[in-house]
Structure 1
């Protein structure tokens, strides 16, 4: 793969991670207004799917016959892979319900070493020294940037558990973005992955939402959550990860940390 393609992949993954880094703050703000996890995730995925459908429609009109259509096997595999996208959102949003955003992002950043480890297992070779050093720097920087050592924080183990699960699920999402149906457009891949994630999110909402669903969430927070959570990141990451690989891509995705801290 050419150096230009790798750099392009790094740029796309970095932009996607930057967008994703803004999410936790918006979710916390929605929580303070009384919205539930089910309402937050449902609005995000519903509006996200609508947005991706519009993007696919424009691409189909623009490229017409040149668009490679997804096969039934592609659709099934992408929807199955997309369940990890839904679980990442649920686990991460549940985590920041119990712990500060700074701790949540530290836990999500465990995808850095998880991604490198997964790549090592799949490719059956040790990671390069550069990747190992990069992982150590990112993890050390994560701790320093969030200042968790000097903060007197009482941690809720429910939040820790959900955060670790979010990291594991996000690592799975990065793997699928790098391997599944890479021959079709990123817009199509994002759509079917979102549909798979929606199955998880809607099931969660169905079984946990005990109060009447507050439809105001769609207007108040749904659009911004969809834009920064289910439209921009999947589109850019499904386009970028096949160019960077899991290991490098997971390291680059750590850029969401400074974004989250600044937010």
Structure 2
């Protein structure tokens, strides 16, 4: 996407980091240990989700319009809510879900899932840029694996832990190179 919009090829570090992260994602997801049946519809929806997420990150990191992060987050979550309500009508608003105690869980999920992350994302992305933001966004899978172990007490296999470590290494790789070059410059000066 960076190449399409800016005619600038990804750097060698970004390309290597992407390969490392993809390898780690295959291991961390448990893909190799389960009997997964491929579905054309599933692959299509997954690719559409990946493309829309890539657009979201690219636009968030490269927008030059000065909009306060809270307003930008409000616009994003309102648009996302409208799209979700069109494809999945909110029938829970008219049934007993609100009185069954799910309301509090909904408020907590909304606060920590739909309010806080977009605000923090919109504050941080313009400061770190699109390519580094894309790499940092891959920390979602390691976080999910770690939290599933700590909070849900799920069993995580050795290969999944290796995948998490590989993903974190892929995230750190471009930054390690930058610090290495900085030390060399300081040494020569």
TM range, smaller chain: 0.5 to 0.7
Q: Give the conservation status (yes or no) of the 8 Å contact 2:63–2:126.
A: no
Q: Which runs of 5+ in 2 are unaligned?
A: 149-189
Q: How many residues align?
A: 145
Closer, same or farther: CA 218–195 of 1 in aligned 2, 3 Å = farther
Change (3 A) 1:252 1:124: same
- For the 8 Å contact 2:62–2:129, the answer to whether it is kept is no
**Residue pair 2:61, 2:129 contacting (<8 A) in 1 also:** yes
Q: Cα gap change, 1:155/1:200 in structure 2, threshold over 3 Å: closer, same or farther?
A: same
The aligned residue for residue 124 of structure 1 is 7
Aligned partner of 1:242 in structure 2 is 126
CA distance in 2 between partners of 1:166 and 1:196 (Å): 16
Q: In structure 2, what is the equivalent of residue 90 of structure 1?
A: none
The TM-score with structure 2 as length reference comes to 0.66
Name the counterpart of 2:170: none
Equivalent position of 2:77 in the other structure = 194
Q: Of 155, 158, 171, which aligns to 2:54?
A: 171
Match of 2:187 in 1: none
Match of 1:151 in 2: 34
Q: In the superposition, relative to structure 1, how do residues 254 and 154 fare at CA in structure 2: closer, same or farther (>3 Å)?
A: same
Give the aligned partner of residue 258 of structure 1. 142
Q: For residues 190 and 204 of structure 1, do their structure 2 counterparts lie closer, same or farther at Cα, with a shift above 3 Å needed?
A: same
Retained in 2: the 8 A contact 1:187–1:235?
Answer: yes
User: After superposition, where does 1:38-77 map in structure 2 within 5 Å?
Assistant: none
In 1, the alpha carbon distance for the partners of 2:68 and 2:93 equals 39
Q: Is the contact made by 1:145 and 1:261 (CA closer than 8 Å) also made in structure 2?
A: yes
Q: Structure 1: any 5+ residue segments left out of the alignment?
A: 1-117
Quick one: distance in 2 between partners of 1:139 and 1:221? 33
- Which region of structure 1 is more displaced relative to structure 2, 213-222 or 173-182? 213-222
- Check conservation: 2:70, 2:119, Cα contact below 8 A: yes
The structural deviation recorded for 1:223 is 2.0
Larger radius of gyration: 2
In 2, the alpha carbon distance for the partners of 1:236 and 1:142 equals 24
User: What is the alpha-carbon distance in structure 2 between the residues aligned to residue 219 and residue 210 of structure 1?
Assistant: 10
